[in-house]
């Protein structure tokens, strides 16, 4: 893009923005709190279903429940043994689907290997699918139907771009990763007609040869592959906006926990080249939880509309 990188690097160093996901998430949470307080009596209620005692899942669900509490959303937790059969798990979801007092249902992934995650996600009533993993909601996303639920991480990415006024129209967005929960929906959101959106989107994955050929031509790169510090400075042009979704643990004896979290981007070397970048931690992660809360409030409002119609 630029043959003499020095002045551009200097320029972008001066104007590079580290996007504070915690700050944006806090804004969303306080907006939701005001909205929830305005509801006359009933409160939105979300049910978390956790299978087993995987420490990461325990911690994620706890974090989500704490955030719900701050907003005034009621949360319930159903913990099931990791020996549970698929049939029994589907039965538990059916009960929650039928319970009028539960507005949102989230089945915490990953699930044990003997459970078919896709079947489980598709069993959640689409009007309670606050995670947005259900095939109906993914279809609604493709049809650009506003009433559907968008999975929380891609919704969080879109909200970052919107609130930071990062122009996507006419831009080239390269998405690294094509998972159903991050890569695909993130790309679909940016492809849709609207703002943010109207971008030209390229999806890359593990079978894409010469990734740098695509990333070097991107205006915006969304990286969601789960490989620590994968996107290196030689793959990025100056002035690019980078959204780093990856959450990876790197061993670090200086930390009490024995590890530190890093993203999919080689942050220290790539950040100076960017016009804006999300850090890890503190970028996309907090947005995911905030958008889950937003989806729960949306599910509650949807339940009110359907009960009065
Ligand atoms: P998946 O494992 O489901 O998907 C990874 C994707 O990356 C796949 O499409 C895979 O390609 C692609 N990929 C893997 N290796 C390469 C490579 N060398 N070059 C190009 N593409 C590659 O992961 P998720 O989408 O669920 O998550 C991605 C990352 O985001 C993880 O670190 C996860 O922890 C994090 N995450 C963070 C969240 C947050 O709140 N911040 C929420 C959700 C996830 P292929 O399809 O060909 O296998």
Distance between CA atoms of residues 105 and 127, nearest Å:
9
How many helices and strands, by DSSP H and E, does the chain display?
11, 11
Ligand 1 atom 3: the closest Cα is on which residue? 179
The whole-number pLDDT of residue 147 equals 86
Cβ 235 vs Cβ 215: under 8 Å: yes
Say what the pLDDT of residue 14 is.
56
Q: Which atom of ligand 1 is nearest to the CA of 156?
A: 40
Q: If residue 287 lies in a helix (H) or strand (E), which one and from where to where? A: helix 284-308
Nearest alpha carbon to residue 9 among 304, 271, 241, 278: 271
Using CB distances shorter than 6 Å, the residues near ligand 1 are 153, 176-179, 181-183, 204-208, 211, 224-227, 245-248, 284-285, 288
Active-site residue, selected from the candidate residues 129, 131, 244, 264: 131
Concerning whether 108 is annotated as a catalytic residue, the answer is yes
Cα of 247 vs centre of ligand 1, distance in Å, is 9
Using the mean position of ligand 1's atoms as its centre, give its distance from the Cα of residue 231 in Å: 13
61, 182, 264, 266: residue to mutate for ligand 1 pocket, most atoms within 8 A of CB: 182
- Ligand 1 closest atom vs CA 207: 47
Q: 131 an active-site residue?
A: yes
Looking at 220-283, list the stretches that DSSP marks H as alpha helix, in order from N- to C-terminal side. 267-270
Asked if 210 and 165 touch (Cβ cutoff 8 Å), the reply is no
Residue 64 annotated among the catalytic residues of the structure = yes
pLDDT of residue 7: 56
* Closest by Cα among 289, 262, 279 to 25: 289
Per DSSP, the three-state class of 155 is helix
74-80: strand order across its sheet: 74-80, 45-51, 104-107
Please give the pLDDT value at position 219: 98
Residue nearest to atom 5 of ligand 1 (CA): 225
pLDDT tens digits for the chain (309 residues)? 445 555 555 555 557 999 999 999 999 999 999 999 999 888 999 999 999 999 999 999 999 999 999 999 999 999 999 999 999 999 999 999 999 999 999 999 999 999 999 999 999 999 999 999 999 999 999 999 988 999 999 999 999 999 999 999 999 999 999 999 999 999 999 999 999 999 999 999 999 999 999 999 999 999 999 999 999 999 999 999 999 999 999 999 999 999 999 999 999 999 999 999 999 999 999 999 999 999 999 999 999 987 655
Residue 256: what pLDDT?
A: 92
Out of 108, 129, 140, 184, pick the active-site residue: 108
Task: Give me the DSSP letters along 209-230.
Answer: S-HHHHHTT-SEEEE-S--TT-
Q: Which atom of ligand 1 is nearest to the CA of 225?
A: 7
């Amino acid at each position: 893009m630029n043959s003499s990188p020095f002045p551009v690097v200097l320029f972008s160093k001066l104007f590079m923005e580290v996007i504070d996901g915690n700050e944006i998430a806090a804004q969303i949470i306080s907006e939701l709190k005001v909205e929830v307080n305005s509801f006359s009596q009933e409160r939105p209620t979300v049910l978390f279903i956790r299978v087993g005692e995987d420490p990461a899942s325990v911690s994620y669900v706890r974090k989500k429940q704490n955030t719900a509490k701050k907003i005034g959303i009621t949360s319930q937790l159903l913990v099931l043994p990791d020996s549970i059969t698929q049939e029994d798990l589907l039965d538990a979801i059916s009960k929650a689907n039928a319970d009028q007092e539960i507005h949102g249902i989230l089945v915490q992934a990953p699930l044990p290997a003997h459970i078919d995650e896709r079947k489980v996600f598709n069993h959640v009533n689409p009007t309670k699918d606050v995670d947005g993993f259900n095939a109906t909601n993914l279809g609604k996303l493709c049809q650009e139907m506003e009433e559907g639920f968008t999975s929380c991480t891609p919704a969080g990415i879109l909200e970052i771009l919107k609130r930071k006024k990062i122009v996507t129209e006419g831009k080239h967005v390269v998405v690294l990763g094509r998972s159903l929960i991050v890569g695909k929906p993130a790309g679909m959101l940016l492809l849709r007609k609207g703002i943010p959106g109207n971008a030209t989107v390229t999806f890359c994955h593990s079978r894409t040869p010469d990734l740098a050929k695509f990333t070097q031509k991107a205006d915006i790169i969304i990286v969601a592959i789960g490989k620590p510090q994968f996107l290196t400075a030689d793959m990025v042009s100056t002035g690019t906006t980078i959204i780093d979704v990856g959450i990876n643990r790197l061993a670090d004896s200086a930390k009490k926990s024995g590890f530190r979290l890093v993203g999919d981007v080689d942050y220290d070397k790539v950040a100076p080249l960017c016009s804006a970048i999300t850090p890890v931690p503190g970028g996309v992660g907090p947005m995911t939880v905030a958008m889950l809360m937003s989806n729960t409030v949306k599910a509650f409002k949807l339940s009110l509309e359907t009960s009065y119609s």
